[in-house]
Structure 1
Amino acid sequence: MQAIQACETRGANFARVFRYQYVISPRPIEAPGMRAHGFAGLHVHTGASLRTARLRDVHGKVFGLLLGIAVGPDGLVTQNQHIDSIDLTRSDAFTAIENLLTHFAGRFTLIAAQGRDRRVYGDAVGMNGIVYNPTLQRVAASVPLCIDDAVQDHPDYNHHLCETEGGKYTFFDTRDRRVRRMNPSCYLDLANFAETRFWPPSNGLGPLPSSLTDTYDEIISIASHSTQTLLQSFPCVLPLTGGRDSRLIAAFAGNDMHRAVQIYTHVTNYSSRQDAAIAALVAQTLGGRLCVHDRRITHVPQVRRDRMRDEFQLALGYDAAPPSELRTGVVTHLPFDALVLRGHQTDILRAVFSDFRGPTGRAALRWQVKRLMPVPYARFTNAEEQRFTHRYAAWRDALPYALRDHSTDLMFTELYYPSSVGATFPALNRNFYISPFNSRRLISLAMSIDEQYRHESLAVDDLVYRMNPALHNVPIDYETGASLDDLNDPHYCAAAVQARASRTEARAGGLAQVTAANPWPA
């Protein structure tokens, strides 16, 4: 594999670099330091720290090999777990597997088999990394594990801008023109390497609650279950910022918040110092203590930071700048191998990829292609619009008709997330980054809420208020001024949140009457 050669060239340990990754092949391959698994005639190799579980049907027959971590309605998915809803003797076994995956949360890849049919599925946004090379018939978490020779650059991208300014290989492309990133809403048939959409259902988002309060209650029930299960099952750390998403995960943690081995904020610039000041109030409200990892007092030798950079770039497959916590070394304050509970996918509750113009905005394609960042945002020109817009239009037009009003949400889950966290999370080899909100059912419930209501962040405020009013009433970053000392004054904090708190409390009384036909509280 090219990955082995690249590690040797840069003096890195292959097993350490790819400790959270995997590779699937019909033929034997060399993967030093990885664990070997046989499944359905396939050669599966997993990094030493990537958890695996064989799944069995109602009769005890193995139907799947899960790579990563998943939480289902019955709790953590574990080794040799029997799942009674799956019956390999039935012709609709794959349909039952797909229904099951709708309710799994976490970060995982599933290889499923029935007879001679073998398929690869992923979590809701491909957070575990799923790329494939049809020529080699190989599936892996990253490009370096999918090729045996030098990278053949994809012709549609400015690779310098992807390396230095954060451009992304989107539209299911990767750095290598021979390797494709799988659409996480599809499964990959290993017989012909064709993708087939299985989610969302072609008739819409599936069965939905009849009111907004019922929707909120189901979101809280599922997300609290997945968050608390992870906290009960693994050493977990919880990052907090001054924004909405991380406190939502903290609210889902509920009484299990104390199980987090660390609650923290990385401080690498002024805005993250503001994050830390607000996060300290959030932690205090929840009865915890915030650990602040400040780059100014973090002394990590340059040689160690260089090694972390090299390992990230090798695992990613190209020389992109690593995240700031790696560059500054503050990531070394996290317990090694702990799960990092991130708030990804809760962005959908804020409709961050929508446009305030609704259907009119969705009809304008330029801004949508620009948001996918095939080049950095400020570098987007007419040339990029001409190169990529037809591909975006083809993706959107292939969506089932009932889902067209959700195209910008699905752009987020199918195009943006796989090209961002789906590429970088497997490359972060010190800790396992995971979102307890990464569930197809949770995403469907979030998308069912009126888009403009979400766009104004009202749904997140409603949810936090419903779970923990005191947490809701901690200031959000945009509500505070330049002086961080002001946050030590309870009167200042109360005044800062008064307008938002009053609006949320006023809405709370009318939520039960909110339906799809009447999407706003009275």
Structure 2
Amino acid sequence: MTNAHAICAEANLDFKELYSYQYLVTHGKTRVAGLKALPFGRFTAHVGAKMHSALLVDCKGRFFGYVLGIAVDKSGLIKGEHRLEELDLDDPQLFLRFAEYLDDVSGRYVILCGAGREQRVYTDPVAMIGCIYDPIKSRVGSSLNLVLDRPLVNNPKTDDEAILQRGGKYTLFHTQDAHAKRMNGSCYLDLDTMIETRFWPRTDKFEVPVEEYGAVYDEIIETGRHVIAEITSAFKTAMPLSGGRDSRLIAALAGKHIKKVNQVFTHITNYSTRYDASVAALMARHLKVPHQVHSWRDPTPPERSRYKYRADLRGFQTALGAKAPMPDELVKNVHQFLEEDQVVLRGHLTDLLRAVYVFTSKRKRWKDLDWQVQRLFPVQTSEFTPQVYENYLPDFVAWRRTLPPSALELPLDFMFIEVYYNATVGYTFNGLHKQFYMSPFNSRRLIELSLAINVDYRRTMKPVDDILYRIDPGLCAIPYYKEAGSDLGVLSAEQPWLDISQDRMNDVKERYDSKYVEADGFSEQYEPERAVPLLMAS
């Protein structure tokens, strides 16, 4: 019995419902109640009732593995029996060919594959699907309670109270258990040895000349639209809109396929998200799609008793695998407005186009590790001390030493891609068990294209507007909430709000006409410092 089964039985929770979008891999031919068993060589894969799955076969129709979750390659949604013409089980370079194929696979997924005696686990680029392995029992799965079938051994590295109650994170691939680890999405896991091996990135250099930016932008648009088209054609979907850049970019990439999205929505959970709703309403009007506002006050969501609140909290924590606080949309109960069993399309990896984790362009500061470890939030900022730094520094250095030279040129981006996402969306999405949350921008090729843009230029956030302008200048022209100011009235459909964004739009058009030559002028000397050397400051 897994720890998840024991917790569900004790708390009278429905295991099959809570783990309907999760998976488990166990050694031998075993059965796990509430999950569907799939034979996998010397192992067995166990899949939740609602988890999409597909079979991978080589060019001769021979079994290669399973895809669990939602994945889209160049040919379309991976479903049914999916034939990979580029793979031949007799090819001695089989796994190298497979790694090359994976570059263009986007979604939130885990792949179990093998040839001969070798059996491996691969995940989406940032392990958004959640992937934890217990080397003691040779088990792999999406969340800690599901993986463990033994008593939890408290991890001496982590401060559970600081993480679960005060905003810290299980970072640098740690879990609450001393032995179970989170898998790095840039590695594959050998099921026999329980050893991770890096297979990505393989490029020698990410950044390209400015003359190629137009082609980079167009490939991002083409790829993103293809992925969203495939997902919206096959699943019921929902798409959040906000007042910022990321959700707008996903909506723009959707193009005409946004008409197939079942729910375009904005959650209002606090004062500031009212601005999101106002901007989102203008975007939905421009895109000619219905827009739902899910507010915690006016109108209020369906009433929830204290008993139901506690049940929601326990369900979230059980599916997540830790006693962490619920996200705002669950606390404020607005999640009830979302229809169940939908695929929720979010941005996340689009953050790379804004270099959100590059807090300074001063290259010499990229070698100072104190503020970098702090930005992984092993504890909240006010609790970060020299002792915390020294505790996590060996793990941080060990991870950083695995980066190839091309990634070491962009170490802060890779800290974001491999470590931060793993500890956030890779951790929390499994707790949101009533829908399947994912980013259609989550492919290694889309990451490479994002990193092809100069890092200093990305820090200005201008690449997002560059892409939006190429897709839909009218959508690009709608003010962002920070442009509009505090008066929500200026964002009504009847107001001349175009004046608010006129200077920005003039700038975007000038860059477009000049083929982005402006990007050549950005270098570290022009960018403000936002990375505080915390330990030195204290």
Q: TM-score range by the shorter chain?
A: over 0.9
Give yes or no for the alignment of 1:165 onto 2:149.
Answer: no
1:254-290 deviation per Cα after TM superposition (whole angstroms, max 9, x unaligned) = 0111111010001111111111011000111111121
SS in 1 for 2:440: coil
Aligned residues: 519
Over 3 Å counting, the alpha-carbon distance change for 1:308 and 1:422 in structure 2 is same
* Match in the other structure for 1:125: 126
User: Which one of 305, 309, 312 corresponds to residue 305 of structure 1?
Assistant: 309
Root-mean-square deviation (Å)? 1.8
Structure 2 CA distance, aligned partners of 1:65 and 1:245? Answer: 31
Structure 2 CA distance, aligned partners of 1:243 and 1:53? Answer: 35
Give yes or no for the alignment of 1:174 onto 2:178.
Answer: no
1:310-352 deviation per Cα after TM superposition (whole angstroms, max 9, x unaligned) = 1110011111001111112111111110000000100001000
Structure 2 CA distance, aligned partners of 1:59 and 1:209? Answer: 43
Q: How far has the Cα of 1:157 moved from its partner?
A: 1.7
SS in 1 for 2:238: strand
User: Which one of 330, 340, 343 corresponds to residue 339 of structure 1?
Assistant: 343
SS in 2 for 1:310: helix
* Match in the other structure for 1:382: 386
TM-score normalized by structure 1?
0.96
* Match in the other structure for 1:271: 272
Over 3 Å counting, the alpha-carbon distance change for 1:350 and 1:170 in structure 2 is same
User: Which one of 389, 409, 415 corresponds to residue 411 of structure 1?
Assistant: 415
SS in 2 for 1:132: strand
The one-letter amino acid paired with 1:298 is P
Q: How does 1:468-487 map to 2 (within 5 A)?
A: 468-487=472-491
1:28-50 deviation per Cα after TM superposition (whole angstroms, max 9, x unaligned) = 44521111111223211111011
Q: How does 1:195-214 map to 2 (within 5 A)?
A: 195-201=196-202, 203-205=204-206, 211-214=212-215
Q: How far has the Cα of 1:490 moved from its partner?
A: 5.3
User: Which one of 433, 436, 442 corresponds to residue 437 of structure 2?
Assistant: 433
> Quick check: 24-33 or 252-261, which moved more?
24-33
* Match in the other structure for 1:115: 116
1:243-262 deviation per Cα after TM superposition (whole angstroms, max 9, x unaligned) = 00000000011011111101
1:220-255 deviation per Cα after TM superposition (whole angstroms, max 9, x unaligned) = 111111112111111100100000000000001101
Q: Contact 1:359 / 1:405 at 8 angstroms: preserved in 2?
A: no
User: Which one of 437, 447, 451 corresponds to residue 447 of structure 1?
Assistant: 451
* Match in the other structure for 1:81: 82
Q: How far has the Cα of 1:13 moved from its partner?
A: 1.1
SS in 1 for 2:102: helix
Q: Contact 1:132 / 1:182 at 8 angstroms: preserved in 2?
A: yes
SS in 1 for 2:364: helix
* Match in the other structure for 2:323: 319
The one-letter amino acid paired with 1:278 is V
* Match in the other structure for 2:242: 241
1:377-404 deviation per Cα after TM superposition (whole angstroms, max 9, x unaligned) = 3322222222222322232233112321
* Match in the other structure for 1:140: 141
1:73-118 deviation per Cα after TM superposition (whole angstroms, max 9, x unaligned) = 1110111111101111111111111111110000000011111111
Structure 2 CA distance, aligned partners of 1:202 and 1:231? Answer: 32
Identical pairs, percent: 36
* Match in the other structure for 1:289: 290
Over 3 Å counting, the alpha-carbon distance change for 1:210 and 1:396 in structure 2 is farther
Unpaired segments ≥5 residues, structure 1: none
* Match in the other structure for 1:256: 257
> Quick check: 4-13 or 296-305, which moved more?
296-305
SS in 2 for 1:270: coil
Q: Contact 2:210 / 2:516 at 8 angstroms: preserved in 1?
A: no
Structure 1 CA distance, aligned partners of 2:29 and 2:472? Answer: 53
* Match in the other structure for 2:28: 27
* Match in the other structure for 2:104: 103
Give yes or no for the alignment of 1:68 onto 2:72.
Answer: no
* Match in the other structure for 1:186: 187
Q: Contact 1:369 / 1:392 at 8 angstroms: preserved in 2?
A: yes
1:1-56 deviation per Cα after TM superposition (whole angstroms, max 9, x unaligned) = 11111111111111111111100011244521111111223211111011110111
1:143-174 deviation per Cα after TM superposition (whole angstroms, max 9, x unaligned) = 11121133222112221121112211111111
Structure 2 CA distance, aligned partners of 1:29 and 1:83? Answer: 29
Q: Contact 2:167 / 2:380 at 8 angstroms: preserved in 1?
A: yes
Q: Contact 1:111 / 1:120 at 8 angstroms: preserved in 2?
A: yes
Q: Contact 2:208 / 2:452 at 8 angstroms: preserved in 1?
A: no
User: Which one of 450, 462, 465 corresponds to residue 461 of structure 1?
Assistant: 465
The one-letter amino acid paired with 1:266 is H
* Match in the other structure for 1:365: 369
Structure 2 CA distance, aligned partners of 1:192 and 1:357? Answer: 40
The one-letter amino acid paired with 1:58 is C
Over 3 Å counting, the alpha-carbon distance change for 1:376 and 1:154 in structure 2 is same
Q: Contact 2:302 / 2:336 at 8 angstroms: preserved in 1?
A: no
The one-letter amino acid paired with 1:479 is E
SS in 2 for 1:149: coil
Structure 2 CA distance, aligned partners of 1:230 and 1:211? Answer: 29
Structure 2 CA distance, aligned partners of 1:467 and 1:165? Answer: 41
Q: Contact 1:172 / 1:183 at 8 angstroms: preserved in 2?
A: yes
The one-letter amino acid paired with 2:110 is T
TM-score normalized by structure 2?
0.93
Over 3 Å counting, the alpha-carbon distance change for 1:63 and 1:207 in structure 2 is farther
* Match in the other structure for 2:155: 154
Q: Contact 2:37 / 2:47 at 8 angstroms: preserved in 1?
A: yes
The one-letter amino acid paired with 2:456 is Q
Q: How far has the Cα of 1:371 moved from its partner?
A: 1.1
Over 3 Å counting, the alpha-carbon distance change for 1:514 and 1:85 in structure 2 is farther
Q: How far has the Cα of 1:178 moved from its partner?
A: 1.2
Give yes or no for the alignment of 1:397 onto 2:398.
Answer: no
User: Which one of 309, 322, 333 corresponds to residue 329 of structure 1?
Assistant: 333
* Match in the other structure for 1:229: 230
Structure 2 CA distance, aligned partners of 1:518 and 1:454? Answer: 12
Structure 2 CA distance, aligned partners of 1:252 and 1:13? Answer: 37
Q: How far has the Cα of 1:492 moved from its partner?
A: 4.6
Q: How far has the Cα of 1:510 moved from its partner?
A: 1.8
Structure 2 CA distance, aligned partners of 1:351 and 1:5? Answer: 43
> Quick check: 505-514 or 386-395, which moved more?
505-514
Over 3 Å counting, the alpha-carbon distance change for 1:343 and 1:477 in structure 2 is same
Stretches (4+) displaced over 3 A: 204-210, 489-492, 512-515, 517-520
Q: Contact 1:281 / 1:474 at 8 angstroms: preserved in 2?
A: yes
SS in 1 for 2:120: strand
